Each structure stands twice: as structure tokens, then as C-alpha cells.
A and B are shown apart, each in its own frame.
Chain A
């Protein structure tokens, strides 16, 4: 027992958490006593004796859990415990509950954790739809309702979509570029463990007096600065989720820049790598802004500052500028990794190189640059300086161009290919193309100021964001999970269940979200617990569809769990793909490669006899193959 307590792990973590909480609590009480204030401040925006422990307890847990052991020894000049790699690989299920530094274990930890949050967010969504099934108050009161949609959005965005992409890339990206691990494995593990912490903080707000945070995922001031305690949980949770995101992005950047296998020049990187490079550039540039905005709100709330207090000279609209300067790039943080997945899947299953590979990579970079210059399209009716609207309308609409290039290039990839439809990942990729086009079109409409003036903050927005986030991001996530499931688990999932899940999801998505366009334009505002009875029929239809959509996700979960345990062995390369991760065993060996592979050609050389992307260690290395002519066919006509 005494031994267990000294070892990093759950026991020491629990003790660390208690000590951390006690330290934070004691600090507040001591400082208040010294300052002659009453010890407990329980104004609704106050509660420092809750907020400070909310920050220190997670750090205490991480110390105890072993997240900082190595760095502390190193900083203290003590001999660091040489890494015997006992923290690599997972041999029993318990190994997934350790501070594990293996990128493949971390990848699976991410995917499983975020899928749990997907289910939680989904249940919250169904509660929302149950309330909206009929006009009038059904199951929850209005302020509880506001808490439901706020937590739903935050869980889906910060705990599902953004981190699951980080998880999938964590698993496959080092393999794809021929690296033995991420550049900073300990930082990688720390990034992961910040995520469940963020989740507990967000969901813990349901226990706060006054209920969960309820100012929307956007948390506009001054509604948020005056809201009950739960809002502070939001402010703190965003810090943990944001730190996780930023650390992972730094890790990806360094990994991609410095750890590519010999021969993998940028123009030989698979598009998934390009996509994560672009995403990481967005995360490191933009995420600090949302963290800053939430700190400002937190300081307004508990330190009595006045960043956004209009009666004391604060500027209300500046919150929105800072928030959207992050949150527009954030929508592409939620989309670009998906673009990468789609490129891999479509090329593999149509047995053809990605059409216009270089332009595809450049389009990603174009989106990164443009996304920093469009944030105010969320503020066309917010009362900001009016001259900014037209320039932002033009940049917003231009961002549809690189997005369109990607759509056309995927279609071009299909032409003259050999299209296999047996894999669920391919089905989701094709459905993604169609669904995402609709979301892109509604996006362009929203970019047009006169239309936005009418439909901003209505159900039309809800329709747009679900077409791009469910029909866009989530479809690509499903495609990615089905595609790499055999690699991650070594087993095959059930394609028949996959198909049922696919059709149910596609039909459910269209049925649930298409009518929202109409009722929004016709006059139903968003974020309302009750609505005019003329919208009753459509809302009932939407709610029924949403429950259908929710139900088919259970098939997916069942398929994943049962196939992971009992599925047939998948083999190394069931899709006969060329990229490096498919050339190693499934699941890959603990250190990925016995010998680092040598990259000799592009990643998608399907159809060129003898063409190789990489020569694996142990193979006799032939001469470097000549790079195939980029445009062998001048015109398809």
C-alpha cells in the first residue's frame, strides 16, 4: 500500500487531487482572512473558494498521477529515471488507464473518451429535442433548457469533435510519416489527461448552485459575466480543453516538421498530414484567444474587473471580436482534419491518386490564411463598426473557393477510378461530399450580409451548423474510425452493421436538419425553449428524426465494441492502401518500425505499376523510383 502511494498512479493521483483542492481552498481562505474580508464569498458570480480549488485540484491530480515526475526530476537536477519504455504499449485493458506515453495508446484513449462524450452530448441533444417536440413547456423549465443546449454544444465541440480528430491523428499520423512516436510523448500524454478533466469541470457545473452554465457555447458578455456560478466552470473548463488542444497542436507541428522519414518531402506527405499541419497552425494561433476571452470573463466575475462591464467603461462588443477571432478558425479546426480523412479514404477506395494533390494541399493552407480574416461574419448584426461588414463578407465568400476546390478534386479522384463501395468509410465519405456541399452553400448565404441580417440567430443557423458539423465533421469522423479500425484493433468490424449505421445516419441527418432551414427563415429564433405553435408540426418531425439519428448511433457503438473483442482478424492492409501505416502489422508493433522506412514516392500512386510510397526496413531497397509525371493525362475529354 505504502508503495502504491509513492508510485505514480491512481492512488497518488487521488491524494494529489485532495491536497490540491485543500491547498486552493486554504489559499483563498487565508488570503481573505489576511485582507479582512469575510471568509466565504457566495455572490453568484463569486465563490472564489470553489473556483480556485477547481483549478488547483486537477493540477494536484496530475502531479500525483505522474504527469510531471520526469520533468520535476530533470528540473531539480536529480537523475531522471531512464525511460525503460514500461509506459509504452498496452497489454491489458488496465494499461489504458495509465499515464501512457505511447502515441497509439494515447490515440485510443482519445477516441474512446471522446466517443463517451459524444454519447453524453447526444443524450443532452435528445433532451433538447424532447422539450421542443411540442410548443409550450414540456419537460424542463426555461433556464434548465438554456443549460442543456449550452452544455450540449460545449461537450460536442470541445470534448468530441476537436479532440477526436486529435486522437485519430495521434494514432495514424506518426505511422504515416514513418516516425516512432510523437515528438514529445510526455506532453502528448499530458494533453490527453487534460481532456477528461475539462469534461468533469464542464459537466460538474450541473451541480453548481444556479445550475449548469447557460449563456450558450458562445458565452457572450455581459450575460456570462453576471451568470450564476456554473459559468465559472465554463471559463475554467475552456482553459483545460484549450491547453490540451494547444499542446497537441505544438506536438503535431514539431512531429510533422522534424520527424518525417527520409525521403518524405512535403509533396510526398499524405493529405491527412497536410490537414493536421494546417489545423495545428490554426490551433496555436487562435486558441489562445478563446482562453484569453474566458479569463477576462472570469476576472470580471470573481475579481471585480471590468473588461466587459459597460457601466464602468467596459466594451461589450470586444468580447465577441476576441471570441470569434478564435471561433471562426475553430470551425475549420473542426473541419480540416476531416478533409484529410476524406482524401485518404476516397483515394484508397477508388484506387486512384488524389486528383490535383498539390492544389489540395495549397487549398488547405489557403483556408488557414483566410480563416483569420473572416471572424466578423458572426457579428453582422451585432452592432459593430459597419464598415467592417463588407470586407468580411468578401473574405467569407472567398473561403468557399478553396473549399470548393476540395470538393471538385474529390469528384475528380473518382473519375476513371475503380470505386469500391464495400467499406462503410467510403460510403460516409461520399455522403459527406453531398451533405457538406449543402452546408457550404448555406454558409455562403450567411456570408451575404442582407440574408444574414434576416436569418442570423434563427434556426437557419442551427441548420447550417449541423449540416457542416454533423454532415461534415461527424461523417468524416465515422469515415476515419471505420477506415482505421482494422489498423487500431487488428480486427475487422461488421460491414453489414456499418451499412445500417450509415443509412440511418444519413437519412436521420437530412430529416432532422433540412426542415430547420425553413422554420428559421420563416421566423423561429434559435436558443428558445418555446416557440409559436405554427412551427409545432415541423418541430415534432425534427424531434422524431433526431431520436432516429440517436438510436442508430447505438448500432455503431455495439459494432465497435463487439468487433474489437470478437471481430475476425483484419490483416495488415485490408484496403490495399499505399501509405506507411498500412505496411506494418495491425496493430503496429510497440515502436512502430524496426527500421525507419525510406520514402521513395508519392502516397497515392495507384495504377502506376511498381510504384511505391515507401520501402520498409528489412526490405532490399531498390533504386529510388522516378517520380511519376504529375499530369500524365492532359484532358479528360
Chain B
């Protein structure tokens, strides 16, 4: 049995993997970034792409080599070598992938903790969704209300409280990299710290009926002062009809109270 040119194969895989990673990293996968979560997530993605490129290259090199080396001559009716396996090799290709995926899982966990870390001075915004429109409540500014247009301050963490009135919708701003479903009956939340002023699009990403593809809203990220001015200029309060349950009403009351009491107040006034 001829010896395998292990070193050459390894070098070829490394070279091919490097070429593929370089090519893949040229692609601007995620497009623009406009929130603090984007940095760590994009980096995680790039690292994964590089790891994957080497794995993909290894498979291609092995397959290509086998095809070149052991493709039969026409008319050869013989059999290959009766190799049934190789325990050492099988252990290697079980253990190394385990190490790789556990490492990637650990890294992902760290990134997850990082992007979901809550700041003490975060503000709360309520996001109401229904077929096929988005509306927004600003509980810390007297529960003011805007339709189809969301404003948030720059460089300030926002805790979006997501609500749905009819079916499931999903809150996604691609530039923020953050997505979470709005689920009827419960309140879910998404944490975002916008760090790039500008105008973006909020996209519904959960199939919600005939108007799903048009269920969009405008998102404006602007400096704190302009944001305050804009919110103060709003005239209407969140209509009662949007608060499906007494719990939601209580929750908003609590947020307003907290704002008045300063951070970590007693919450709902029970006296």
C-alpha cells in the first residue's frame, strides 16, 4: 500500500482553506451595522466562516485527491484494498469536531451574554404589532404613542417590550442584528443599543398573513435631545385598546412610576 502524502494533503487543504476564507471574507455578509451588538456578532460570523472554510477545503481536497489517485483505468474490474477502518483515525475525526463545536458554542454563549447585557440607564419602548402595522409607545415619556415610525436616542440602550394583538409578528432591524418575536398573550423583549444615527427599516419576519411582506415601519436613530423633542411633540397616548390585559396596563403604570421615582423605585403604588 502506498503511503499517503499526508503533509502535502495538509498543506493543500490549508492553502485552499486560506484562499476560500479570504474570498469569503471579501463578501460584506451583513451589510451596514448600526448597533453595538453588530460588532461581536459579525466577528463571530467571520470566525465561523474561516473555520468552516478550512473544513470545506479539507473535504474538497480529500475528495479531489481520491478521485485523481484512485479513479479506475477503463477495464479494471478489480477491487480496492480491504480496509475496514482505522480506530485511531476514527477517534481523531470524532474528537476534533467535538472540540471545534464546543469551542464555537462557548464563544457564542459569551457573545450572547455580551449582547444581552442590560445597562442601568436603559429606556423602555413598547412595540405593538397587529396585522399589518407597527405602533410604538414611550412609557417613560408619559406613554406617548406613534404609528409606523419609531424613534430612539443614539447611544442609549433600549429595552423593547414586544406585544402582539392578533397573531405572531417578529421585530427585526437588520442593521441592529437583533430579532425577537412579538407573541400574543405574552410580552417578549429585545435589547438594542443603537450606535449609528440614521433611518432604518423595521421588518416583520414572522409570517402573519396576506400583508406580511408589507409590514414595515421606519426607524429613526437620533441624538438624545432631538429624540426628546420628537417624543414631546407627540400628541396622543397609547389607546386603551392596545392594552390587551390588565397586566400590561399595570406594567406600563409601573414603568412610568419608576421613571418618576428614579431608577429602581418601588414600582406600582400600592397604597
Contact = CB atoms under 8 A, between A and B. Distances in A.
Interface residues of A, number: 97
Q: Per DSSP, are chain B's interface residues mostly helix, strand or loop, or mixed?
A: mixed
A315 B185 contact: yes
Interface stretch (B141-149, B200-208, B219-227): B200-208
Interface string A605-637: 111100100000000000000001111111111
Interface stretch (B54-62, B234-242, B258-266): B54-62
Contacts of B19: none
A518 B27 contact: yes
Interface residues of B, number: 86
Interface string A579-619: 00000000000000000000000000111100100000000
Contacts of A353: 82-84
A485 B205 CA distance: 43
Contacts of B22: none
Contacts of A453: 41, 177-180
A223 interface: yes
Contacts of B79: 351-352, 418, 606-607
Interface stretch (A199-207, A469-477, A525-533): A525-533
A634 B86 contact: yes
A420 interface: yes
Nearest to B44: A450
A448 B46 CA distance: 13
Contacts of B93: 404-405, 408
Given A317-B186, A454-B179, A522-B31, A416 B83 contact: yes
B16 interface: no
A115 interface: no
A222 B184 contact: yes
A411 interface: yes
Contacts of B120: none
Contact of A419 (B4, B37, B48, B71): B71
B25 interface: no
Contacts of B80: 350-352, 416-418, 606-607
B246 interface: no
Interface stretch (A17-25, A53-61, A389-397): A389-397
A223 B90 contact: no
B4 A637 contact: yes
B94 interface: yes
Contacts of B48: 444-445, 448, 451
A521 B85 contact: no
Nearest to A532: B201
Contacts of B31: 521-523
A143 interface: yes
Contacts of B212: 142, 146, 527-528
Nearest to B2: A416
A381 interface: yes
Interface in B3-33: 3-4, 6, 27, 29-31
Interface stretch (A82-90, A184-192, A329-337, A432-440): A432-440
Given A448-B44, A448-B105, A457-B206, A412 B186 contact: no
B82 A606 contact: yes
Contact of B59 (A358, A401, A433, A454): A433
Interface string B169-187: 0101010011111111110
A146 B207 contact: yes
A407 B93 CA distance: 10
16 contacts: A220-B207, A310-B184, A350-B80, A352-B79, A353-B83, A357-B84, A383-B186, A400-B97, A414-B66, A416-B83, A417-B80, A417-B81, A441-B52, A450-B112, A454-B30, A633-B1
Which 8 residue pairs of A and B lie closest in terms of their CB atoms, listed nearest first?
A310-B185, A417-B80, A528-B213, A523-B174, A383-B188, A607-B82, A352-B80, A143-B210
